[in-house]
């Protein structure tokens, strides 16, 4: 796999590698695309410095270096926890770190307890998450759905509980917004079923490690298993993947960040 669309640098509180170290690691591994994406909040003040650090390392021969900002969905209306002055960012990563409640973010542990007490139903929680994520897509420029549904197990829920119709609806919203779906190594999500639905809707698929250390940049195992589960035995999807999954080795058809997938189905093939 020759890309990593979700790599944190030391601009994020929980990461250890600099932007330059991540770029060097990507070049050693032969990646063609690297998105350095750091966590932001409304009060984040270092975005200009972050963008300058990325810009100082591009262009790089044979490696496209992108600047991403990862923001949490705050509420059911899809408000993103973004600061001002982000116009220089290439991608906005939409993340479900907290449950997007009616009046603001709720820690997933609290939602798990609320479900256990009967104060919230599994169906209502899933519907709320889908609605908030779809709304967030409408408000983000150059969006990428980062580790979609990673919050579900933290709330004691399984992705299998998300109805097919809800996944298909979200996939259509992503296609309309020109978003891309990230298949995430760290959280091993979304599931093959979800990836397949997004591919069938024509959404561009990308891979990301979610790394916090440059030693993990571009290193995949979970993503490969998800790919095999999503498309094994589906020849028509495999063949159209080469036009829609940017990281495939030997695939010359590449899409820019946030670009809309073409008329063909977005899919994936084994590596």
Domains of the chain (ranges, CATH numbers): 3-241 (3.20.20.140)
Kindly state the DSSP code that residue 80 receives in the 8-state scheme: B
Helix, strand or coil, per DSSP, at residue 48: helix
Q: Strands 99-101, 104-106: parallel, antiparallel or unpaired by DSSP?
A: antiparallel
* DSSP H helices in 155-220: 164-177, 192-200
For the entire predicted model, the pTM comes to 0.88
* pLDDT tens series, the chain, 271 aa: 799 999 999 999 999 999 999 999 999 999 999 999 999 999 999 999 999 999 999 999 999 999 999 999 999 999 999 999 999 999 999 999 999 999 999 999 999 999 999 999 999 999 999 999 999 999 898 999 999 999 999 999 999 999 999 999 999 999 999 999 999 999 999 999 999 999 999 999 999 999 999 999 999 999 999 999 998 866 555 444 444 454 333 333 333 443 333 323 333 322 2
pLDDT at 250: 33
> Distance between CA atoms of 47 and 13, rounded to whole angstroms?
14
DSSP state of 261: P
Q: What is the pLDDT of residue 260?
A: 32
Closest CA to 3 of 180, 168, 150, 167: 180
According to DSSP, the residues that pair with 205 across neighbouring strands are: 181
Q: Which two tokens stand for residue 84?
A: 């001002």
Distance CA(108)–CA(161), nearest Å, equals 16
pLDDT digits (tens, 9 = 90+) for 170-204: 999 999 999 999 999 999 999 999 999 999 999 99
Helix (H) or strand (E) holding 122: helix 122-139
- Structure-token match 């159209």, residue found: 240
Q: Please report the pLDDT score of residue 1 as a whole number.
A: 78
Beta-strand runs (E) in 130-244: 143-145, 180-184, 204-208
């Amino acid at each position: 796999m020759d890309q990593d669309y979700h790599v944190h640098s030391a601009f994020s509180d929980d990461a250890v590698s600099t932007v330059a170290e991540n770029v060097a690691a990507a070049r050693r591994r032969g990646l063609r695309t690297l998105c350095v994406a750091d966590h932001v909040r409304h009060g984040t003040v270092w975005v200009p410095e972050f963008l300058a650090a990325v810009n100082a390392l591009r262009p790089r021969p044979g490696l496209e270096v992108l600047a991403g900002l990862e923001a949490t969905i705050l509420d059911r209306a899809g408000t993103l926890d973004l600061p001002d002055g982000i116009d220089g960012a290439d991608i906005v990563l939409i993340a479900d770190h907290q449950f997007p409640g009616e009046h603001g973010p709720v820690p997933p542990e609290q939602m798990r307890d609320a479900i256990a007490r009967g104060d919230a139903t599994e169906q209502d929680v899933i519907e709320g998450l889908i609605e908030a994520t779809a709304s967030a897509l409408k408000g983000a420029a150059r969006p990428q759905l980062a580790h979609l549904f990673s919050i579900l197990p933290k709330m004691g829920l399984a992705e299998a509980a998300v109805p097919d119709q809800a996944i298909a609806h979200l996939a259509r919203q992503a296609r309309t917004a020109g978003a891309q779906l990230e298949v995430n190594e760290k959280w091993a999500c979304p599931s093959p079923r979800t990836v397949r639905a997004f591919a069938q809707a024509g959404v561009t698929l990308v891979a990301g490690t979610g790394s916090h250390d440059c030693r993990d940049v571009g290193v995949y195992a979970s993503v490969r298993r998800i790919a095999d589960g999503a498309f094994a035995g589906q020849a028509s999807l495999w063949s159209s993947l080469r036009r829609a999954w940017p990281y495939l080795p030997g695939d010359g058809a590449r899409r820019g960040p946030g670009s809309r997938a073409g008329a063909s189905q977005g899919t994936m093939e084994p590596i």
